[in-house]
Each structure stands twice: as structure tokens, then as C-alpha cells.
Structure 1
Amino acid sequence: MSEINPAADADDASAAVLPRPPAIRAVPLRRPGRVLSALVLLVLLAMFGHMLIFNPNFGWDLVGQWLFWHTITAAVWITLQLTVLAMLIGVTGGVVLAVMRLSDNPVSSWAAWAYTWFFRGTPVLVQLLFWHEIAALVGQEVGFGIPFGPQFLHLHTNDVITDFGAAVLALGLNEAAYMSEIVRAGVLSVDEGQTEAAASLGMRRGKIMRRIVLPQAMRVIIPPTGNETISMLKTSSLASVIGVVELTDASESAIHLYFKAIPFYVVAALWYLFFTTVLSIGQYYVERYYARGSSRSLPPTPFQKLLRANLLLRRRRDPYTEIREGLR
């Protein structure tokens, strides 16, 4: 027969008659400073929104009328062309210059350094004016042939380098100097041990750069490259000083024609904001793509952030939800 333990029976009986502990009363942490700052910001936003809606000087009816005016849309297309072509030259030249700068060849390294020093040391406006007046430096005709020898082809300088071509060259070559430093920083961020391991396996330097270094360096390269692209979109407005009719210059011309300054400035600002938003969204997804492997979970998309914010808002409305779920 099994022995009966009176002490255990007494503990079970006492446990059965003990009342259930009361629910925990959670008191949310008070943050008066956060509430006050939120109220101030809401008031400022309300004042700004009221000014945008009810200030007649903005001329929103004229903005809607001129937003897709054929002169403005043609200038928008020129602005996009300048941005894309200049960034293509800048990114390609930046990669080449970064590889040259990191090369063991002293001539290549010093040549890349001298290029970066010159183009970063002079204003892009001066470079635009220089390329616009290139015919005064090389003459009215430019020849192609053997260096220091006979020339087989002669072209008119202003036909080869038009106003648009001068703007693309000036913006692209200037951007290459900045992109070279961005690419160089990204390459140097990759651990040298990976390069040494790949070299020990017999991989050549070019293949190591393409297959190992650059894919990892893109996580460092993409964010500043996106910023440079957005900056180039707005820097392209400087091309108006050499006669390129881009968005800002078209808006200025329309102001002198219709004598309405603010509506045309609003039109230009809306176009710039639209393309900046598109580029920012594209930059976000490119960064998310190259973030694979660097962290266990990818950063959430804007739609996922919206769903998460909605869920957090619901939980804040009922602070006892998590406590109830824990008691269950």
C-alpha cells in the first residue's frame, strides 16, 4: 500500500481555497514633453495647411492649368535627360576612378587623385561655363587622328559640343569625382580577408572585384548614390546659365511672359518633388535588395510599416490587451 502524506494533502486543500490574485493594473507612462511637442507640431502643420489652401497668392487654379503645359513638360523631359546622362557618366567614371585610385600602379593612382582634386575643387557652375566656351580653347574645329600626328577627321567644335552636350559633360565629369570617393569608401568597407581568400583560390583581381567586393560594397554605395542622383536632379537647373531650357529656365521664361511668379515656382517645385519622391522610393527598394545577407530580416516595406503602425495604434487604445492575453 502507498503511504498517505498528510502535509501534501493539506497543501493541496489550501491551494484549492486560495482566492485568485487580482489583475495587474498597468498605468501607462506619462510623457508630457512628447504630448506638448506633438501639439505644437500639429498647430504649425494646421497653420501651414491653412496658408496653402486659403492664400490666393499661390494661384492653385493657375498651377493646375500650367502644370502640364507643353513648354513645362518639354523642359521636364530635358531635366530628366540631363539627370540620367550625367549620372551614367558619373557612376561609370566614378567606378573607373575608384579602381584606379586603389590600384598598385602609382601613375593610375595619382592620375585618379589629380582628377578628383581638380573637379571637386572647382565649382560646377565654372565647369559649365568652361565647357560652353570650349571653342575658345581648342578652336572652331576639332580634329581626330593620330596623337601628335596627322588628323583625318575635322568637325566644328560647336556642332560636336552643343549647349546640351556641354551641360551633360560638365555635370557628368564633376559627378564622377564625387562618385569615385563613394565607390572607394564602399570598396574599402569590405574586409580584406575576403579578397585574400579569393586570391588564394586563384581568382583574378577583376573577377574578385565583380563577384565578391562590389556586391558587398553596394550596401555602402547605394545610399549616397541615391542622394547624389536626387542632388543631380536639382543641380541640372544650373544648365540654364548656358542656354539649356530645363525646368527652372522654362518656369522663369513663363514668369516673364505671364507676369505670374508664384504659380510657376509652385509648378516647378511640384515637378521636382514628384521626381524626388519617385527616386527616393526606388532608392529604398534597391537598398532593401542589397541588404539581403547583412541581417537576418529585411527592413519592412512602406506598406508593412503602415500595417504595423495600425496594429500599434490599436494596442495603444487598449493598454490591457497584452495583459489579458498573458493571463489567458
Structure 2
Amino acid sequence: MDFWSNFLINLVQGLTTTLQILVISIPLSIITGFILGFARVYGNKIIFYISTGISTTFRGLPLIVTLLILFFGLADLKIYLSPFWASILGFTLCGGSYISEYVKGAIQSIEQGQAEAARALGMNKLQEIIYIILPQTLIRALPGVSNEIIYMIQYSSLSFVIGVKEIFSVAKTFNSLYFRSIEIFTTVAFVYLLLIAIATLVFKIIENKLKIT
């Protein structure tokens, strides 16, 4: 089998793994981000400190350190995660922590008068959040969330440090065998750019549908 056939077959396998990680970790990151964001605004003092602590910790740690702790550190405590699931957990915690900042900012940007109007209509706090705050937060946080998802596509390559056989791992392996850096890494760069272009287009369509300005 020649170089390109072998490389492309393995690259597709690596791309499949990358997409699996992203398809799982992106929705989990969004859910985590919204939970943390709302907890920081509406939670009691204990919930506020816990959610703020989680968000601050995983925004402060380099992602590569988070991945190493989750894979190797937890193993020392007899908690064993596969490289695949350690990556998903790391991306979820990191991505969710950043998304929580966008969510918090979106909530705080909503005019206070709307909450007062909701209470005047007899809504309780939960109804106010569900029917008034959440829909507007989804719209206002979307640009920031879309940026974070693009970042997640980029830093998914870091999962190679704990042994995940994704795109970048395949590229490193083939470069060490064939020393054809320009062809290998240019191809990988094109794949990442294609993924980001697709994600950008999808979010642009969503923003236009929601008429976000």
C-alpha cells in the first residue's frame, strides 16, 4: 500500500474518532455551561461558590493539564477512564466553564424590567426563568457559544497526549514514519479548516434564523 492510501485510510479513522469526541462533548459542554451559568446567577450562596469554583478552576487550568489529571491522576486514585472518555470529560469541563461565562453575561444583559413584568403577571421564579430568561439567554449567548465550539474543534487535537488516536495523532505517527511533514500537516490543517468552516456556517444559519444582530 502506498503512502497516500495508507495515510488517508488512517486519517479517516482518526477523523471518525475526533467527530465522535466532538459530537458527545459539544452538547455536554453546552448543557454544563448553561447549568453553571444559571447557578452562578440564581443559585444560593453555596451553589454560587461551587459553580463559580468549577468555572474558575477549569478556565484557569490549561486543557492539556486537565486531560493529564483526568487520565493519569485519577488512575492513581484507582479511577480508570479510557483516553476517549477522559478527553470527553476534559473537553466538557473546559468548554462548559467558558460557556458559563457567556451564559452569565447573557442573563445579566436582560433588562430587569422584564423580570418585574413577569412577577406582575403572577409568574413564580421558575416560570420567569423558563419562559422569560431562558429563551433570551439562548439567543444572546449563541455567538459566544459558537466561538467556544470552534475552539473545541481546534483543541480536540490535544487529546493525543493521553493516547487518543484522532487526526493529529495519526499525523504525528505518519510524520515519524515517513518524514513528509508538508503533505501530512497541510492535509490535517485542511481537515480542521473544513470542520471549522462547516461549524461556522451552521451557526451562521442558526443566527440568521433567529435574526440575531
Fold shared per TM-score above 0.5: yes
Alignment partner for residue 164 of structure 2, among 226, 238, 244?
244
Corresponding residue number in structure 1 for 2:129: 209
Distance in 1 (CA, whole Å) between partners of 2:50 and 2:91 is: 20
Could you tell me which of 76, 79, 97 is aligned with 2:36? 97
Q: Which has the higher contact order (CA 8 A, sep 6+)?
A: 2
Cα RMSD (Å) = 2.0
- 1:77 matched to 2:28: no
Count how many residue pairs are aligned between Structure 1 and Structure 2: 211
CA offsets per residue over residues 171-221 of structure 1, 9 Å max, x none?
111111111111111111111111111122122323322222222223321
Cα distance change of structure 1 residues 291 and 214 upon mapping to structure 2, 3 Å threshold? farther
Partner of 2:70: 131
Partner of 1:50: none
- Asked if 2 retains the 8 angstrom alpha-carbon contact of 1:80 and 1:233, the reply is no
Moved more, 254-263 or 123-132: 254-263
Following the alignment from structure 2 to structure 1, what is the Cα–Cα distance between the partners of residues 107 and 146?
17
Residue 74 (structure 1) shift: 0.9
Aligned to 1:203, the other structure's residue is in SS state coil
> For residues 17-56 of structure 1, what are the structure 2 equivalents within 5 Å?
none
Aligned residue in 2 for 1:287: 207
Within 5 Å, give how 1:178-327 maps onto structure 2: 178-291=98-211
Instruction: Please state whether the residue corresponding to 1:94 is helix, strand or coil.
Output: helix
Opposite residue 258 of structure 1, the aligned amino acid is Y
Structure 1 segments of 4+ aligned residues over 4 angstroms from their partners:
65-68
- Aligned CA distance change for structure 1 residues 104 and 226 (closer, same or farther; 3 Å): closer
Equivalent in 97, 105, 108 of residue 47 of structure 2: 108
**8 A Cα contact 2:7 2:174, kept in partner:** no
Q: Say if 1:274 and 1:282 are closer, same or farther in 2 by CA, change over 3 A.
A: same
CA contact (8 A) 1:219 1:291 kept: no
Q: What is the SS of the residue equivalent to 1:102?
A: helix
Rounded Cα–Cα distance in structure 2 between residues aligned with 1:104 and 1:270? 44
Unpaired runs of at least 5, structure 1: 1-61, 140-156, 295-328
Show structure 2 runs of 5+ residues with no match: none
TM-score of the superposed pair, with normalisation by structure 2: 0.92
Is the Cα–Cα contact under 8 Å of residues 67 and 267 in structure 1 kept in the other structure? no
Whichever structure has more helix as a proportion of its residues is: 2
- The one-letter code of the counterpart of 1:266 is T
Q: Give me the whole-angstrom Cα distance separating, in 2, the residues matched to 1:112 and 1:102.
A: 10
The 3-state SS of whatever aligns with 2:42 is coil
Whole-Å separation in 2 of the counterparts to 1:81 and 1:199: 44
Q: Distance in 1 between the 2:5 and 2:167 partners?
A: 13
Comparing 235-244 with 102-111, greater Cα deviation is found at 102-111
Distance 1:204 1:70 in 2: 57
**Letter paired with 2:31:** T
Paired with 1:88 and 1:189, the residues of 2 have a C-alpha distance of 24
Length-normalised TM-score, structure 1: 0.61
